[in-house]
Amino acid sequence: MLYSKRLTPLYESLASYFLKPSRGSTVFAKTSPVHLISLRTMAKSKFEYVRNFEVDDTCLRNCWIVVRLDGRNFHKFAEQHSFTKPNDDRALNLMTRCAQAVMEELEDIVIAYGQSDEYSFVFQKKSNWFKRRASKFMTHVASQFASSYVFYWKDYFQDQTLLYPPGFDGRVILYPSNQNLRDYLSWRQADCHINNLFNTVFWNLVQKGGLTTSQAREIEGRHGTLSGDKNEILFSEFNINYNNEPLIHRKGTALVWKKIDEITTKTIKLPNEEKEKEIVVTRTRKKVTPLHCDLIGEEFWEEHSEILEDDS
């Protein structure tokens, strides 16, 4: 076949424009294939060479694809929008709602993990979504997340006006083995613990201890990075047992697909009966579910063994 049937309407419309007859002349009722081929050749202009500048960014096959988003300049954003210190549950829940929206839109994501102003999305190893182009993965995730942040803002910050649009930067990382992926998620959760412990001590020294931010920073600096010392400050100075702090603050949030049963009522009309009858219908469907749990140990991965594929 000399020309594509799918493209024929386009070329016919172009033909009707370029080959429009002068008054009094006659034309064929249907554009001929020769004219269509000529128009197709015209479409390949001398400027098309610029496509050669595009870089091939296909992700290596049989690797986990991770897209991590971070809030751009969120220290300033949190300050200007009066986020509660050290943790604002409104902001954390909004981030999770945005991540849920991303997972519901891009079903190849098997697990997501978030803390503070970041979220990581893990695409299944065998995903061939957009031919595994890294730029497509990153831009789709970032744009869906950022637009959702603005869209759902009022659901979590009813009394706080969104002063300006938030920004998120993203990166794509490939992990060849299941262990690599687990270590990545463990690293992000360990980072959540380290940052949250520091912030919990810091802001208690400021808010309850009456210190300036400089004084609080100096005290934490004197005690080094040992978690035991920070736990001791919390307990001895403020009677806070860090282990009793909310799991969402200490562990972050993991999003997984879970099968749930939805029970609804349906009105039907039985054969040979005039009256309608309500019946109970149970439907099983997958839903994105947030969990606040440990990802470093074995329990989570044994309970959700479907996430990891065979590494062979």
SS3 state of residue 215? helix
Q: Is 117 annotated as a binding residue?
A: yes
Q: Is 157 annotated as a binding residue?
A: no
Q: Decide: 106 and 144 in contact? Cβ < 8 Å.
A: yes
Q: Is 56 annotated as a binding residue?
A: no
Among candidate residues 107, 115, 87, 71, the one with its CA nearest the CA of residue 253? 115
Q: Which stretch of DSSP H or E encloses residue 280? A: strand 276-291
Q: Is 193 annotated as a binding residue?
A: no
Q: Is 143 annotated as a binding residue?
A: no
Give the torsion sign (CA, 224, 230, 236, 238): positive
Residue 50: how many CB atoms within 10 A of its CB? 7
Among candidate residues 146, 136, 140, 161, the one with its CA nearest the CA of residue 72? 146
Please name the residues in contact with 185: beta carbons below 8 A apart, sequence gap of 6 or more: 111, 113, 120, 122, 295
Q: Which two tokens stand for residue 199?
A: 């912030």
Q: Which two tokens stand for residue 115?
A: 């803390």
Q: Decide: 44 and 7 in contact? Cβ < 8 Å.
A: no
Q: Is 73 annotated as a binding residue?
A: yes
CA 199 to CA 221: how far, in whole Å?
Answer: 13
Known binding site for Mg(2+): residues?
70-71, 117
Known binding site: residues?
70-75, 116-117
Known binding site for GTP: residues?
70-75, 116-117
